[in-house]
Amino acid sequence: HKQNINKLRSCDVFFQSCAGSCSSSGKSLSKTLSGELHTDQIKHIIECLQLTRVHHVKSNVTIFIYVYILYLMMNCVFCRHLKQNKRSEELLEQYRCEIQELKLKHRKQRMKFENQLHQLIEQHKNLHSVFTPEMLPDEIESAENITRQLLSAEQMKLAQLHRLYEELDEIEKAACDTAAEIQE
């Protein structure tokens, strides 16, 4: 019982100081209450209100002030929670946007990589079909045939070139002979 009376006195002192703030300026009380106010303090205030009811505090004004202070305190806590929630929602939205940007960037990189991989696979298929071990003898024979044809064509062109040089020499001799006859 003595403990309850001591609690009641401490509550009364606390509420008296709050009431003084309340009567002087509602804003200063709000500033005081908007600081660090925890749920333990609110529970303590509710307990004090219950004690005043149990001990039949006669002054309705005192109870009204207690309830008003409790209301202001809870309102401050509510406002602080609203601000924290709003800040948390803004951060959450910012993080969502950053995540979406990263997902988009990774998707673009993945698509680019997939395209490059597809191109490499196609190139590999083409190379594999050209250079398969089964086709190697045919490729060698084809290369040898082409080499023979090119050598034959080269020999024909050299023979034609040799004939053209001979014809050119004959034409030059004939031109020189004609020029010498004309001068005589």
Contact between 56 and 8 under an 8 Å Cβ cutoff? The reply is no
Residues 6+ apart with CB under 8 A from 14: 45, 48
pLDDT at 25: 41
Q: What is the DSSP string of 77-89?
A: HHHHHHHHHHHHH
Q: What pLDDT, on a 0 to 100 scale, did the predictor assign at position 138?
A: 84
If we measure between CA atoms, which residue out of 38, 31, 43 comes closest to residue 7?
Answer: 43
Each residue's pLDDT tens digit in the chain (184 positions)? 556 556 656 666 665 555 454 444 444 444 444 444 556 666 666 666 666 555 555 555 566 666 666 676 777 778 788 889 999 999 999 999 999 999 999 999 999 999 999 999 988 887 766 667 777 788 889 999 999 999 999 999 999 999 999 999 999 998 888 888 877 6
At 71 the pLDDT is 72
DSSP characters for 76-139? HHHHHHHHHHHHHHHHHHHHHHHHHHHHHHHHHHHHHHHHHHHHHHHHHHHHHHHS-GGGHHHH
pLDDT score recorded for residue 34: 45
d(CA 137, CA 156): 28
DSSP assigned state of 56: T
Count of beta carbons in the 10 Å neighbourhood of residue 44? 15
